[in-house]
Structure 1
Amino acid sequence: MTIAWKTAITLGALGLSTGVASAACGIESGSVRVLSNDFPALHDVVEKAKECAGDGVTVTANQTAEHESLAVPALSANPAEYTSHFVANSSLQPLLSNDLIRPLNDYIETYGKNISERQKIKIGDDVMVIAFDANAQHLFFREDILKEAGIEPPKTYEDVLAAAKAIKDKSLMAYPLTGTYKAGWNLAEEFVNMYLGMGGEFFEPGSAKPAIDNEKGVAALEMMKSLSAYMNPDYLTFDSNSVQAELESGSAAIANFWGSRYGAVVDDEGSTPEIAGSIKVAAAPTVGGGTIPATTLWWDGYTVAKNISEADAKATFIALDHGASAEMANANPDAAVWLIDGYEPGPGAIGVLDSMNQGAKPYPMVPYMGLLHTALGAEIVDFMKGEEDAAKALADTEAAYSAAAREKGFL
């Protein structure tokens, strides 16, 4: 199975075209029911899509961090509970495996002529997802705190450790670093980023056999542990909302954090003008002598469910095409790096674009990556707590993954 996504994106490429969304949706009837994750960029798309509601058309959304666990059961019903699931690299595969979403080629031809090639996520010749933003975790830093500590913005994770030490030694902050280290998915994603930055491969070539129990895996875990020494002691509970709050409150000076949170971090809510105005972004750091940013590239996009009426499918596609418009993107330039023609990137796009252009890799889209991610999120926690060594944590991860992969038929 080939999943295609064009990742060669630059500031110029994003601003070249000037496709304009129609002011009127032109939907006669239908129900649009969205299931998605819960963060600002997705809220913006849905709110714009709600302009299509009225005159027999309804647009509703369930935006929750639990969306992945809800998606397969909800879309397996006939009719499906939702007409669209907003997916990312990691959440597309279950919908494909269970045949729960429909090809979008015909809808694009009729109703989506402004959709660019870089937005089309293809399985073979079929467009199955319309991607509307690119995302990555990248460097956020307090420019004023770094200057007070007498240090330059870090370019490597080794620099990050040195910066954290300098900030703490000068008593500028008790916990200079923060990160999405919550046990489970978030912690596993931190390992994925760091391991890729080390030049690691997750699986043996052409196989689903795991390949993380090695020197690069150990080095990735040890760097994560070193970083955690400069974080709030409760770091294993910190998700994106927690990290955002740490940055906004001025409790931390450096984070490798989601670009999609930039707008919320620097807006007028939850912080002060002095703190928000000094928060800058850059590419994710490299690590261990590697040459690519230690992060993963992601996209978010919309699907159209298979088990729904044609009227609802049409309404869903048109409403979401309206939601993911240049008008919406330029009204919210710092909410995401939008992949939409006509979008003019804001200052918050720099971190994602620089990470991308310096060679950051997309999150793996092989069907068994989710099993490894789940195993990592459970098995490396004891290492982070200091209760076992890195080699044991990686061996336990491979064993847990292998058991799950055999059960699913991948091994």
Structure 2
Amino acid sequence: MLADLLRASHCMPAEMLPAKASECARAAGFHQVVIYVADLQRNSLRLLAGDEATGGQHEAELHVEGTVPGRAYQYSDVLPAASAGGDVFEWWVPLLDGTERIGLIRVSAGRNDAATRTDMEALAALIALIIVSKRPTSDELAKRVRAQPMSLAAEMQWNLLPPRTYADARVAISASLEPAYKISGDVFEYAVDGPLVHLAIFDAMGHDTAAGLSGALALGAYRNARRQGADLVGRSDAVEAALLEQYDHQRYVTGILATLDTGTGVLQWVNRGHHPPIVIRDNRWTTRLACTPGHPMGTDLGLPTTACQEHLQPGDRVVLYTDGITEARRPGGREFGIERFTDFLIRHHADGLPVPETLRRLIHAVLEYHEGRLQDDATVLLCEWIGPHTEPATVAAEWTGLVPGGLGGGAGPRP
């Protein structure tokens, strides 16, 4: 089954994936495979390739909130679908790119045993990999995850960003940003380089296409300098040099640039005119990491840039954010605020929610607080240092909604 699907995927457009997946799965005893991908804001699950692939048997869109498939998506859990009757069993199985949630498949089969569960999870893993491999060249996938038109700046930004969730045995990272279809100047970045994890968040001046261009330039300059071996100060200087060359003091970008040594827990960072990082410890208390800020990149004000350092404890979570998170406010009302922001993260983590789901709900809470319309980009990047060990990845799996022994952690499919 998997070998046939993998072989077919090499010369197959994304539109053919639902039919080909069902065809190959039937050879392993499955009746049908239906693919749903999550929309950009992770509010709904949208049928891939439309009703023509399934004969109109399945809903074109499913809500994440208040539905069984939505719960399977939120918690990365295998859950039974409504019974098809007779000897046919159906399940919702998450699609994951590493630990990034990209959607679900609905699988029907005539068996209900542990081997079936293993085959379902393997099939879901391969389908997810195929979807990810097709995304750069598929307008079908790009359009399917959009619930509304996207601005030019947002089109540029989304194509620059890394996946919104990453985890290994040492570190777990998740990010979220809004307004998804109109982001302009905010960008986040992370990358793994041996024991080092690089983190950055940038907030470009303005809320237009020019802000998007500035943010893209800042991210490109940062990556280029980092990959050439520059230290944190050198990376921020490279961003400033690129902005000055292109805009001659007319545009600026604030940001936090950081590096975490996962072997020692030492976090180093520079602050270029941005909100300071927050550390959440023991899920009880928070502290803002003090570091004398340099001037915003692109202003060339001559202020010194200082690299600061903090020793983390295993389990500490570092939070980088932009002002759209804390300064969101209702008309005539109070700001969402730093206390409300950190309390939300602590409270939902205590409730046992996976962190990607906590951030999804946080962004929705910020939107609701602002009555659905943000005046500024709102971005948050959260990184937890799990510890220095490279395996096993048990904590990372729990952090992102996965558990040992497979999705959902159960022994087999549930009827």
Q: Judge same fold: TM > 0.5, yes or no.
A: no
Structure with the larger RCO, 1 or 2 (CA within 8 Å, 6+ apart): 1
> Which protein is richer in helix relative to its size?
1
* Structure-2-length-normalised TM-score: 0.28
Name the structure with the higher strand share: 2
Q: TM-score, normalised by structure 1?
A: 0.28
